[in-house]
């Protein structure tokens, strides 16, 4: 085990992560850590789409774990590139994100995030908190984010998912009501929260859920009706890992206001 001080949080470095020639050339431990991170990242590849919360979560996790320098390719869902051969070779489901680390493949964003935190525990930001109550809350929230994302999708993509002959106004209405109820639950979760979803530190809950809130707001979600969500969004949007990975297609201007009545 290598113990590193010198202004960094004390951390263990797994000797098996060292590439012997690089290590021998270095004079300082911070440089050593940097080489290890870059070496690890060079074995990683992420295929992603702009504005996709699952893709964005993985990108945030990679930044937070100091794994900048990973290979990446931006693909277009509008052009159907998620069904291209290069994606299907990594992910037979033809979905993004598609992530590789050496021979290891992780095509589910939560799987990739949990893997990265567990395998790189000792570098970058600690993304799983210490106390039992906080761990429990973090896991609960990331799974509650599933119905949140799903309900947003049911409203935004109704016409894309449901063939014309099967569409009903009653279903559209029900989906909108369900999303409203869901957003109220999250307003409640954020009531009295500090800067983060769980306790006093940034965690996997923020990695996974910030992109979903940002997506809601991007698509017209009301900041007036959901002030706690809006406040959380504003507090975190300038965090370096988030700012750096902000969806490139969002920089061009506002999105569709589809969710403005929610």
Find the shortest distance in angstroms from Cβ 113 to other proteins: 9
Q: Confirm or reject binding of residue 111 to other proteins (CB under 8 A).
A: yes
Q: In terms of CB distance, is 163 or 240 closer to other proteins? A: 163
Q: Confirm or reject binding of residue 254 to other proteins (CB under 8 A).
A: no
Q: What residues from 70 to 99 belong to the interface with other proteins (CB under 8 A)?
A: 92-93
The correct pick among 33, 40, 47, 106 for binding other proteins (CB under 8 A) is: 106
Find the shortest distance in angstroms from Cβ 257 to other proteins: 26
Find the shortest distance in angstroms from Cβ 79 to other proteins: 23
The correct pick among 135, 178, 193, 231 for binding other proteins (CB under 8 A) is: 135
Q: In terms of CB distance, is 26 or 171 closer to other proteins? A: 171
CA dist., res. 260 & res. 189, Å (int) = 21
Q: In terms of CB distance, is 67 or 106 closer to other proteins? A: 106
The two tokens of residue 117 are 């935190």
**How far apart, in Å, do the first and last CA atoms of the chain sit?**
53
Residue 226 backbone phi and psi in degrees, to 5: -125, 70
The 141-180 site mask, x for binding other proteins (CB under 8 A), equals -xxx-x---------------xx-xx-x-xx--x------
The correct pick among 48, 62, 70, 101 for binding other proteins (CB under 8 A) is: 101
Mark the segment that binds other proteins (CB under 8 A) among 30-38, 101-109, 223-231, 239-247.
Answer: 101-109
How many residues can be counted in the chain? 262
Find the shortest distance in angstroms from Cβ 181 to other proteins: 10
CA angle centred on 243, ends 146 and 221, rounded to 5°: 45
Beta bridge partners of 98: 47
CA dist., res. 49 & res. 92, Å (int) = 17
Q: In terms of CB distance, is 205 or 262 closer to other proteins? A: 205
Residues at the interface with other proteins (CB under 8 A)? 92-93, 101, 103-112, 114-115, 118-119, 128, 132-133, 135-137, 139-140, 142-144, 146, 162-163, 165-166, 168, 170-171, 174, 185, 188
């Amino acid at each position: 085990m290598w113990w590193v001080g010198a202004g960094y949080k004390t951390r263990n470095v797994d000797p098996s992560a060292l590439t012997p020639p690089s290590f021998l050339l270095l004079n300082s431990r911070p440089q050593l850590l940097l080489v290890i991170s870059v070496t690890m990242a060079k074995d990683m590849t992420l295929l992603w789409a702009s504005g996709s919360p699952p893709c964005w979560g993985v990108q945030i996790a990679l930044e937070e774990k100091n794994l900048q320098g990973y290979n990446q390719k931006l693909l277009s869902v509008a052009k159907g590139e998620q069904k291209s051969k290069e994606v299907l070779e990594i992910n037979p489901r033809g979905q993004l994100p598609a992530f590789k680390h050496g021979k290891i493949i992780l095509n589910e964003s939560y799987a990739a995030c949990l893997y990265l935190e567990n395998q790189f525990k000792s570098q970058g930001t600690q993304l799983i908190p210490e106390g039992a109550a906080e761990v429990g809350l973090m896991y609960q929230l990331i799974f509650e984010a599933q119905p949140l994302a799903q309900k947003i999708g049911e409203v935004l993509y109704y016409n894309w998912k449901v063939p014309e002959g099967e569409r009903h106004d009653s279903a559209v209405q029900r989906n909108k009501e369900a999303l409203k109820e869901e957003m109220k639950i999250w307003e409640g979760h954020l009531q009295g929260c500090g800067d983060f979803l769980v306790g006093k530190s940034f965690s996997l809950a923020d990695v996974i859920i910030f992109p979903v809130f940002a997506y809601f707001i991007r698509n017209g979600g009301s900041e007036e009706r959901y002030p706690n969500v809006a406040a959380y969004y504003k507090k975190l949007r300038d965090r370096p890992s988030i700012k750096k990975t902000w969806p490139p297609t969002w920089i061009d201007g506002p999105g569709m206001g589809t969710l403005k009545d929610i």
